[in-house]
Structure formats: structure tokens, C-alpha cells
Chains A and B, each alone.
Chain A
Amino acid sequence: RKEVEQDPGPFNVPEGATVAFNCTYSNSASQSFFWYRQDCRKEPKLLMSVYSSGNEDGRFTAQLNRASQYISLLIRDSKLSDSATYLCVVRYSGAGSYQLTFGKGTKLSVIP
């Protein structure tokens, strides 16, 4: 079974804190990895893709470890506006299908 597992959360952190989210995936035949952000009662929006070499976008850093089948997202200097649910997403390939599989998400609340 193809599964994506995330820290259940919720994470309650003060402004300015650094917070890290972890994600593991079960199927090694996976091609692409993403972090999405979902605000309450809204659609998910792409936060960043995750590359094998790791990548950074401002305060956000994503890491991928294919050997351990592990993905992480680091948020530095947390802002109130970072409060949301963060979804780990993996695209699997096999038998002609390329499905996106979503984790259940980790809720982050940044507190003043």
C-alpha cells in the first residue's frame, strides 16, 4: 500500500521559533516530492517542491533522503501567517499511473 505518514501535530510555537516537520513514504518507486500548505477550509497550495540535493526558499528549507524514504520541511523565524496545515505529497509511478498521494497533514499554530 502506498502511504505517506506525517507528524500528527498540532505544533504550537511562538513567533520567531524554528519548527521542523517530518514525513516518511512507504513506496520506493516514487518520483516527485512536494510540500503543500492548506489554510482552514481552503484548497491546498504548493509551498515548494523537494529536490534530492535539498532546496531552500527564503525561510523554508526542504530535504529529501531517498535511502531512508524521508522528507523534511524546516521553517525558520516563524510568522503568524505561517499558521496552516502542511501536507507532504509524493508522486508515485508504476503500472502507467502517476498518482499524487497526500499525507494527512501537520497543523502549525504560530502564537504571538
Chain B
Amino acid sequence: DGGITQSPKYLFRKEGQNVTLSCEQNLNHDAMYWYRQDPGQGLRLIYYSQIVNDFQKGDIAEGYSVSREKKESFPLTVTSAQKNPTAFYLCASSIGVRNLEAFFGQGTRLTVV
């Protein structure tokens, strides 16, 4: 079945550590996105990528980094520079960036301990 897969589902990180969240899709979608969701808040865009080897900052990119070396994969690294990393992280993809809906992975809950 085609879909978008995030791993792990739950992640614990010590303060000062970098951590990488995985996002893989087999939908043959060109565009991929990373969002962050905090309790009572809407989804906020961290980074997005329209094609391989290209990505753009979203509204809250500070403290995060991404890569897009393959069409299927868009990993997100939460660096130690991110001051408040505890959140629900959602990866999404869409066929293109124009006029089409996005499909989401099941999300990763990151907790800093």
C-alpha cells in the first residue's frame, strides 16, 4: 500500500543532543513538508521541499535542518539550537505544491528529558 511513514512514533532526547526524525513516502510525490504541532496550536511549517535537492524554510525553521537527497525521503534533524523541541512532528507529502491536498504520516512525538 502506498503511504507516508514516520519513525519513530515516540522519541526521547536529552537536552543538548541532536536527533533525526525519519519520513519516507512511496506515493511518488514531489513535494514534502515538515510541520510542528503544540497543544492547542495549529500546525506550523518548519521546512518544505518541492523537488529533490531543494528545500525552503518555513515559518519556524530556526533550530532545524533537513535534506532531500532522494524523492522518497525527507529527514528532519532537531538540533540543540532548538530551544523548545518537545512537540508533535508531522511529515506530509503532496503530488506537487499547487492546488493539491497533502497526506500526512502518523507523526513523531518528541520529548526532551
| Interface SS of A by simple majority | strand
A61 part of interface (Cβ distance < 8 Å): no
Nearest CB in chain B: distance from A25 CB, A: 13
A111 part of interface (Cβ distance < 8 Å): no
Given contacts A104-B40, A104-B42, whether A98 and B104 have CB atoms under 8 Å apart is: no
B106 part of interface (Cβ distance < 8 Å): yes
Interchain CA distance A101-B33 in the complex, whole Å: 12
A residues within 8 A CB of B43? 44, 87, 102
Interchain CA distance A6-B48 in the complex, whole Å: 24
From A32, A45, A91, A99, give the contact of B58 (CB < 8 A): A99
A-B interface contact total, Cβ < 8 Å: 49
Interchain CA distance A43-B104 in the complex, whole Å: 6
Nearest CB in chain A: distance from B68 CB, A: 16
Question: Most chain-A CB neighbours within 10 Å: which of B43, B88, B103, B106?
Answer: B43
Total interface residues on B, CB under 8 Å, equals: 25
Instruction: Using CB atoms, name the residue of chain A closest to B101.
Output: A46
Nearest CB in chain A: distance from B86 CB, A: 14
A55 part of interface (Cβ distance < 8 Å): no
Query: Which residues A62-112 have CB closer than 8 A to chain B?
Result: 87, 91, 93, 97-105
By the criterion CB–CB under 8 Å, are A99 and B107 in contact? no
B residues within 8 A CB of A43? 90, 104-107
Measured CB to CB, the residues of B under 8 A from A are 33, 35, 40-45, 48, 56, 58, 88, 90, 92, 97-107
Given contacts A44-B90, A91-B99, 4 further A-B contacts (CB under 8 A): A45-B104, A46-B101, A100-B45, A102-B42
Q: Name 23 A/B residue pairs within 8 A (Cβ), A-sorted.
A: A4-B42, A31-B99, A32-B99, A32-B100, A34-B101, A42-B106, A42-B107, A43-B105, A43-B106, A44-B90, A46-B102, A49-B101, A91-B98, A91-B99, A98-B97, A98-B98, A99-B58, A100-B102, A102-B43, A102-B44, A103-B42, A104-B42, A105-B42
